[in-house]
Structure 1
Amino acid sequence: MRLRHLAVMLLLTVSACSARHEHAVARPPAGRRTGRTVTPTPTPAPPHPRRMVFHGARDSGMVALTFDADMTHGMWRSLDAGRIKSSYDRRIVATLDSTRTPATIFATGMWIRRYPAVTKALAADPLLEFANHSYEHSAFTAPCYGLPVLPAHDRTADVLHAGRILRDHVPAPTPYFRFPGGCHDQAAVRAVLAAGVTPVQWDVISGDAFGHDPRAITRTVVKEAKGGSIVVMHLNGAPTAPETHAALPGIITGLRARGLRLVKVSELLTAH
């Protein structure tokens, strides 16, 4: 498990993704501060979050598939330089749509600014919901797999900043947050709660980060998921998560064959 966890987090240090602009992209601001028309209506979370969440109710029979959409300044530069093709693997969403599978996307503010048209299209998909993954994917505590560390006094402001970008592009974002790298301490958790959102982690690591065997990724998720599980995967595609799209059909089929119902995080966490 620790090896898979490390592999997942290595995703965070790679400064790669796409120079081919599938959609119009904005230039990154200087510094941290600066078809379908159905609008999704996720179930609201409790208005006063008090704790971090790793999974939902074990007797719910539900599982939430989540996809992190990472972006850093280094990744943005790599996209501009054309070192790889894209930081968005559209095949993942195509599979979710074709199988009628709900999912939750944890997007950084910079990813949204890089892909505003993609974000708008995904936000209109009733199967999908969006949540906050920080602005530029800096760590909220150290060490964190080589990520630059956000100063403690900037943590709440970073969550709020990313939240504003999210609301500018997504009509109904969920009040959830995922720590970059999954790295946190109690002070970091308090900083996120102070922004009025609930930190949501995971209890199943898919192993899609740098995973080149889609069958192994599928086996891991189907074996380890249980009622209430939250599965972490990635939306970025190659080279950092090259086989997520190939593993996903088997994951969906395998979990449903076990009698588990796939839902958004918002439904999982509000189930009684």
Structure 2
Amino acid sequence: MRMRSGVLPVFWVWVLAALPAVACQADVVTRLPTKEKVLALTFDGCETVTPSYVDESIAAYLAREKIPFTLFASGKFARRNRERLAELAALPFVELENHSDSHHLHMERLSRAQQQGEVIGNEAPLAAITGRKPRFFRFPGGYYDGAALKAVEDLGYRVVHWSFASGDPDRHLSAERLYRGVVEQSRPGGILIFHINGRGYQTGAALPRIVETLRQRGYRFVRLDELL
């Protein structure tokens, strides 16, 4: 039966109303649910083949200035940097969340069991550091499809990505360009993304100026769990 766009016959309204409710797949979070001038600073700490360590030019600055931030760590990165991450996670303004176990760049190409294994495999390393199960997940590289998203959500996670890419893994991006790009694109409720694993090549140099400028413009920084 063909129906005109936007018009649903009464019969079908009754039929749909009688159907059991089906849980809907949530959207990937890319903004905080607020119009206030707040921003979430988030950092990816990931490792695949090459050993990666916490970038102290970033971590020491954030800790010293007591700036709230959320760190998405992969399992390999968490195990290699356990002591330092434990020090950071003990700070009341730091939140440590799940970024998969092996940082497989295309989790959408894995089976459901493998996708959930990537998530579950990183729970123990992070729980050993924080004393709790993570609540947020970020797909490596931001790659996912509907099936991968549902596989993660079925484990009780909310998937959080970012409002715009800072581009800090680009070796050719200068600290000045990184600063200007982030400051110019930041909007109320934005989720900013950088890397804290040594691959945010100019982040340590640009971050203090980014934070200072945004604060001068009336922004404050929050952990994700303050608003999500």
Shorter-normalised TM-score: what interval? 0.7 to 0.9
How many angstroms apart in 2 are the aligned matches of 1:151 and 1:172? 27
Deviation at 1:244, TM superposition (A): 0.8
* Post-superposition offset of 1:125: 1.6
Q: How does 1:156-167 map to 2 (within 5 A)?
A: 156-167=116-127
Offset of residue 202 of structure 1: 0.5
Deviation at 1:192, TM superposition (A): 0.6
The answer to whether the 8 A contact 1:129-1:174 is kept is no
1:109 and 2:75 correspond: yes
- Tell me the residue number matched to 1:53: 29
Normalized against structure 2, the TM-score is what? 0.83
Return the offset for 1:174: 4.1
SS of residue in 2 equivalent to 1:166 = helix
Which of residues 85, 103, 113 in structure 2 aligns to 1:119? Answer: 85
- 1:121 Cα offset (Å): 1.0
Give the aligned partner of residue 63 of structure 2: 97
Three-state SS of the structure 2 residue aligned to 1:210 is: coil
Kindly tell me the number of residue pairs found equivalent between the two proteins: 203
- Structure 2 unmatched ranges of 5 or more: 1-23
Asked if residue 244 in structure 1 is aligned to residue 203 in structure 2, the reply is yes
4+ residue stretches of structure 1 with deviation over 4 A?
Answer: none
**Does the aligned pair in 1 maintain the 2:78–2:125 contact within 8 Å?**
yes
Q: Secondary structure of 2:113's partner?
A: helix
Q: Which runs of 5+ in 1 are unaligned?
A: 1-47, 80-85, 142-148
1:263 aligns with 2:216: no
CA–CA separation in structure 1 for the residues paired with 2:158 and 2:67? 23
Match of 2:185 among 214, 218, 224: 224
Provide the C-alpha distance between the structure 2 equivalents of 1:236 and 1:161, rounded to a whole number of angstroms.
Answer: 20
What is the alpha-carbon root mean square deviation over aligned residues?
Answer: 1.8
C-alpha separation in 1, matches of 2:190 and 2:111: 32
1:95-153 deviation digits (Å, cap 9, x = unpaired): 11232211000000111111111121111122211000000001212xxxxxxx53333
1:61-103 Cα distance to aligned partner (Å, 9 max, x none): 210010000111x12xxx3xxxxxx532111011112322110
Q: Sequence identity of aligned pairs in percent?
A: 35
Quote the residue 2:158 is aligned against.
Answer: 198
Shift of 1:50: 3.6
Residue equivalent to 2:8:
none
Whether 1:188 and 2:148 are equivalent positions in the alignment is yes
Aligned to 1:151: 111
Partner of 2:46: 70
- Return the alpha-carbon distance in structure 1 between the equivalents of residues 162 and 79 of structure 2: 26
Aligned to 1:5: none
Relative distance call for 1:140 and 1:129 in structure 2 (3 A) is same
Task: Measure how far apart 1:58 and its partner are.
Answer: 4.1
Deviation at 1:172, TM superposition (A): 4.0
Classify the secondary structure of the residue corresponding to 2:66.
coil
